[in-house]
Structures are given as structure tokens and as C-alpha cells.
């Protein structure tokens, strides 16, 4: 099992450009999540999905959109990138709905918006 993978690993964008981050998991997990990590702020939830075809807003959803067309993939889109979106983005997945479930994380995507 590859677990949770993310592409790309690193990207530089100019303000106003758009891009899509791809997350894939091969563990047949129902739940998937997108977080951003900023120094001193831990991880903050952007959007999440409780199953194929469903998405929901997290703590900091503005400026991002997501789609879960296939169970194994969760895409994060930036329609018009801003410097404030410079961050490290992590995808995670968990097996079932439940307060007890452990989330498994991908290696991250480092995004720099100039």
C-alpha cells in the first residue's frame, strides 16, 4: 500500500493563477481531509469529505474548492491564488466515520504564491 499520496510536492504560483492539488489513497477510506499548516498554528482544516460525491467546509474554507468524484481521490482547487495561501498542504484519510478514527496523512505539498 502506498497509503496517502499527494501531487505535486512543490509548486510556485503567481498571484491570480489557479491550480489543483491531488490527493489519492489506496486504503479504501471513506473520509478524506485537506489541511493547511502554517508556523505556530498547527494544522487547520480546509475542507473534508465523508464519502464519494460529498464535501463539507472546515475551519478555513475561503478561497478553496474541493471535489470527491472518486472514493480514492480528493482534489483541492485554488481558483485565484493569493500570497496568503502560501503554506504546506496536507491531505489525510480515515476509515470510517467516528470520533475514534485515526487519520493518516500524506507527505504534503509546499505551495508558494508570489
Closest to 89 measured CA to CA, from 31, 58, 44: 44
Q: Which is nearer to other proteins, 17 or 101 (CB)?
A: 101
Strands (E) across the chain are located at: 4-7, 10-13, 19-25, 31-37, 43-49, 56-57, 65-67, 73-78, 87-94, 104-105, 109-113
Residue 102 interacting with other proteins (CB under 8 A): yes
Residue 45 interacting with other proteins (CB under 8 A): yes
Per rule CB under 8 A, count of chain residues that contact other proteins? 28
Least Å distance, CB 51 to other proteins, is 12
Residue 62 interacting with other proteins (CB under 8 A): no
Residue 101 interacting with other proteins (CB under 8 A): yes
Q: Between the CA of residue 40 and those of 28, 32, 36, 43, 44, what are the distances in Å? A: 32, 24, 12, 9, 11
Q: By CB under 8 A, name the binding residues for other proteins.
A: 4, 31, 33, 35, 40-45, 48, 50, 58-59, 90, 92, 97-108
Amino acid at each position: 500500500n502506498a497509503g496517502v499520496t499527494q501531487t505535486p510536492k512543490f509548486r510556485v504560483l503567481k498571484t491570480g493563477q489557479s491550480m489543483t492539488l491531488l490527493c489519492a489513497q489506496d486504503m479504501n477510506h471513506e473520509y478524506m481531509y485537506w489541511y493547511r499548516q502554517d508556523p505556530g498554528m498547527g494544522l487547520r482544516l480546509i475542507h473534508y469529505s465523508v464519502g464519494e460525491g460529498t464535501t463539507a467546509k472546515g475551519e478555513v474554507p475561503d478561497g478553496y474548492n474541493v471535489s470527491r468524484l472518486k472514493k480514492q481521490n480528493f482534489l483541492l482547487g485554488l481558483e485565484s491564488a493569493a500570497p496568503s495561501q502560501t503554506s504546506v498542504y496536507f491531505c489525510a484519510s480515515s476509515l470510517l466515520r467516528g470520533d475514534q478514527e485515526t487519520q493518516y496523512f500524506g507527505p504534503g505539498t509546499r505551495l508558494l504564491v508570489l
